[in-house]
A and B are shown apart, each in its own frame.
Chain A
Amino acid sequence: MTISTRRRLLMTLPVAGAGLAGFGCWRMLSAMQDGSFDPHAIRRDKGDALIPDFALPGLSGPDDGFDAAALSQNAKPVLVNFFASWCIPCVAEMAALREIARQIPLWGIAYKDKPEDARRFITRDGSPYERVALDRSGMTAIDWGVSGVPESFLIVPGGRIAWHGASALDETLFRREILPLANATP
């Protein structure tokens, strides 16, 4: 019985697909081992991404809000944290943020939140944030590339994004990943 080439080719499709997927996974694993790929930090820019242009009102008053210029003109690295009062991981993150805020200036952006809810949320146990802006529509968050809250960005002088993480921060993560980058900044 002769078998058409088409039939043969069709039956090799699964192994070809699996091979490609397997190759991709192998690349990921080897990149994970040499440290160039970390699925938990969703973007680690190689030093060229700048913060998007934005200007947000303050949560508690006009002095509280900030824009791209204010953020880039800092002399020291700043950690920017997107949060919301309706987000449970953000509640869990709060205690760690208060610790982190002792070591680095922390600026918050309340994401898609009612001002009164956000205010109550951050003042409940003492706010860790130096300044808090309100992104009520969530449009600024889109420009930043935020996919959900909580997310954090390390901004070094000049407005460059040195680190971006998409999970709740804790002390270990902060010491391992963020602090070295912040200290490396002149």
Chain B
Amino acid sequence: MSSFFGPEQGHYALAFACVLALTQCILPLWGAWRGQRFLLDLAPRLAFAQLLALAYSFLSLIACAVQDDFSVQNVAANSALSKPLLYKITGVWGNHEGSVLLWALILALCGGAVALLGRGLPLILKARVLAILGGVSTGFQLFCLLTSNPFARIWPAPADGQGMNPLLQDPGLAFHPPVLYTGYVGFAVPFAFAVAALIEGRVDAAWGRWVRPWAVAAWCFLTCGIAMGSWWSYYVLGWGGYWFWDPVENASLIPWLTGTALVHSAIVVEKRDALRIWTVLLAIASFSFSLSGTFLVRSGILNSVHAFANDPARGVFILGLLALVIGGSLLLFAWRAPGLAPGGIFAPVSREGGLVLNNILLCALCAVVVTGTMYPPFMQILTGRTLSVGKPFFDATTIPLALPLMVAMALGTMLPWKRGNLRPLLRRLRVAALVALMALIAGCFLLDGILPILCAAAALWVIMASLTDLAARLGLRDGLSVVRQRLPRLPRAVWGSAIAHIGVGVTVLGITGMSQARHAVVEIGIGQTIHQGALDWRLVSVRRETGANYKALVADLTVSRHGRVIATLHPSRRDFTSQHQVTTDVAIRTNLLRDLYAALGESRGSGADARYVLRLHNNPLAPWIWLGGVIMAFGGALSLADRRHRFGAPRKARDRSAHAPIVQESRS
């Protein structure tokens, strides 16, 4: 096997894939320009070939890691003999070089998916989309080959590797990067569609229909990726928080916000043939932000706890790549977009109006996050003085924008297209409004702070309104026979959007609950008890354990309420001797309504007098934060499975799809 999957073979395959990607970029564009059909037909084949070559290259790198080939520098620097097999494999993408290769592989997978699933696309559009994906691939593979070659050899080869950062040695994190990168890279497809449409000079309802599933798929992955990252920082870092407004986190949130706006505005293009230029711009922006986020983090401009090895020289290369991709597409936009015909008109109070409001608020949120993230380095380069922007800024600016977003979100899905009336709508939402009002009143007694109270009310408002909408569409009021009749016919897209909106509500409830968390950092000895509200935390014993490549100190804690033990927790500290690094292994006991969270800190003294630092949290509703993310992604996936994506409309209908049957309107 080693002769089949060696580092040189992998390196060669990478270079070969790069040539294929360049061909995939040039030939179809030439063919589309000159009207040569065989060049257009070549695009999907080249995309498959490039995917095969890259997959081979990636497998070769995995083979090097699994076989402990320490003559490969990347393996020597990030792996070790004692590392468990799972982490030898996942460690391949836990470092800069490997993760760039993974990026390129996922991009090639996207190209392959377009080639495979895009059978119904017009030949020229498909060829152009694949060509643009090929162009972006070329850039990234060149970056990989020229500045971050994962197959570089070292001589003499060390006997053992330096090992992996133990913080990354965690099953959750092992699968986090592929999901997150799929989200980032997935936005390359809507981007390619946007650029292709600009070259063609035509954006219509059919374009909206084609681009939307890709945007939704990327959005689902990005949502999952962000949720996983947040969960990781909650249970691995042991600081008791779930979101730190760290630049790396913001870099994933920014494309998520524009991506969410894109997913919604593409509906308007699809159904009403309006907001076209704006949607094209959002498609470009989502991918541009994905790329820039990666650049800013890798080049070391942004200061982060999740630092990759920073290298300004690499930064220059990526910046050039960004200038080409982002600058090129935006120049094309400036040149071609003014010529695109404006779309349909609609009244301010209408489904379109609601979606425009959603877009405005999401983009305002995005602008706030971008400002907060980029302000410190820009101020520093401009004036030489700096200040850091942290949680207080983001809390104060994002929540006031998120609240109206949630209020509007509930109304939007229930408004009719073109022109609507708020009064009957509000009458239909009176139950939701009542629940929100009750939450507001109850919140005043139960919750601390004005923002959590408002957030709780807004979250319940969104959840109740989504349920009301579903109930109305199912005809719940007209009796069970009507429901039984309508249930199988209700489009999955309707379910999807309602579920995704409920997911938002669930996440916001979780965040609200977390804001009420009780926590304490204490230093206690064995046998001592800490009282926290109704809970008693007792440190029963502390013992030593030895793992595969670490030594651990494990504490046994019992938590009791009114004298009855409700949980036993075992937080530990692991000392990875080969890397001189200590990690805290948080113990979490959840019942889905609250998390008991304990982290073991430093110890002092020995024997019977030993004292231990413990971080003890009682986090109400904490799991809901990530549960909501999963529900959102599930909603998105459900809408992807909608009938209209599975069975294409007949060709004729597709061509005049401005008047395509609108499934969601069947209710009225």
Contacts and interface: CB of A to CB of B under 8 A. Distances in A.
Interface in A19-69: 19, 21-22, 24-29, 31-33, 37, 39-40, 42-43, 46
A172 B319 CA distance: 29
Contact of A8 (B285, B338, B602, B604): B338
B288 interface: yes
B371 to A, nearest CB: 12
A151 B125 CA distance: 55
Contacts of B396: none
B400 interface: no
B312 A14 contact: no
Nearest to B316: A29
A8 B384 CA distance: 36
Nearest to B314: A29
B380 A42 contact: yes
B300 interface: yes
Interface stretch (B328-336, B543-551, B560-568, B587-595): B328-336
Contacts, number: 100
A31 B381 contact: yes
10 nearest A-B pairs in the assembled complex, by CB-CB distance: A15-B330, A147-B388, A12-B334, A3-B338, A32-B312, A11-B337, A42-B386, A7-B338, A29-B315, A14-B330
A42 B380 CA distance: 8
A125 interface: yes
A173 B88 CA distance: 31
A24 B288 contact: no
Contact of A147 (B301, B315, B390, B604): B390
Contact of A15 (B334, B376, B602): B334
B377 interface: yes
Contacts of A24: 378, 381
A33 B312 contact: yes
Contacts of B333: 11, 14-15
Contacts of B387: 145, 147
B563 to A, nearest CB: 30
Interface string B395-419: 0000000000000000000000000
A88 interface: yes
A14 B301 contact: no
Interface of B: 239, 277, 281, 284-285, 288, 292, 295-296, 299-303, 312-313, 315-316, 319, 322-323, 326-327, 330-331, 333-334, 337-339, 374, 376-378, 380-381, 384-388, 390, 521, 523, 601-602, 604, 613
Interface string A69-92: 000000000000000001010010
A148 B281 CA distance: 38
A166 B312 contact: no
Interface string A101-121: 000000000000000000010
B319 A25 contact: yes
Contact of B339 (A1, A22, A86, A124): A1
B523 A120 contact: yes
25 contacts: A1-B339, A11-B334, A12-B334, A14-B281, A14-B333, A18-B326, A18-B327, A22-B319, A22-B323, A22-B327, A24-B378, A28-B381, A29-B315, A29-B316, A31-B381, A32-B315, A33-B313, A37-B381, A40-B303, A42-B376, A42-B388, A43-B384, A88-B239, A91-B613, A166-B388
Nearest to A146: B388
Contacts of A29: 299, 301, 312, 315-316, 319
A147 B389 CA distance: 8
Nearest to B288: A18
A8 B381 CA distance: 31
A91 B601 contact: yes
Contacts of A10: 338
Contacts of B604: 124-125
Contacts of B312: 29, 32-33
Contacts of A8: 334, 338
B303 A39 contact: yes
A32 B312 CA distance: 7
A19 B327 contact: yes
Given A125-B602, A166-B388, 11 more contacts: A3-B339, A11-B337, A14-B285, A14-B330, A22-B327, A28-B377, A29-B315, A33-B313, A39-B301, A124-B604, A167-B303
B301 A28 contact: yes
Contacts of B331: 15
Interface of A: 1, 3, 7-8, 10-12, 14-15, 18-19, 21-22, 24-29, 31-33, 37, 39-40, 42-43, 46, 86, 88, 91, 120, 124-125, 145, 147-148, 166-167
Nearest to B330: A15
A162 B277 CA distance: 52
Contact of A86 (B302, B376, B521): B521
A43 B385 contact: yes
A39 to B, nearest CB: 5
A95 to B, nearest CB: 9
A161 to B, nearest CB: 13
A40 B386 CA distance: 11
Contacts of A12: 334
A39 B247 CA distance: 12
Contacts of B390: 147-148
Contacts of B601: 91
A88 B313 CA distance: 33
Given A11-B334, A18-B330, A147-B390, A39 B377 contact: yes
Nearest to A25: B319
Contacts of B302: 39
Interface-centre pick from A12, A46, A91 (highest chain B CB count, 10 A): A12
Contacts of B338: 3, 7-8, 10-11
Contacts of A7: 338
Contacts of B327: 15, 18-19, 22
Contacts of A21: 292, 374
Nearest to A12: B334
Nearest to B332: A15
Contacts of B295: 25
A91 B339 contact: no
Given A29-B299, A120-B523, A37 B337 contact: no
A24 B374 CA distance: 10
B601 to A, nearest CB: 7
B505 to A, nearest CB: 32
Contacts of A26: 316, 319
Nearest to B284: A14
Contacts of A22: 319, 322-323, 326-327
A88 to B, nearest CB: 6
B283 to A, nearest CB: 12
A104 B389 CA distance: 31
Contacts of A15: 327, 330-331, 333-334
B155 to A, nearest CB: 27
A39 B281 contact: no
A122 to B, nearest CB: 13
Given A14-B281, A22-B322, A43-B386, A91 B288 contact: no
A82 to B, nearest CB: 13
A89 B102 CA distance: 32
A4 B284 CA distance: 23
A88 B519 CA distance: 14
Contacts of B323: 22
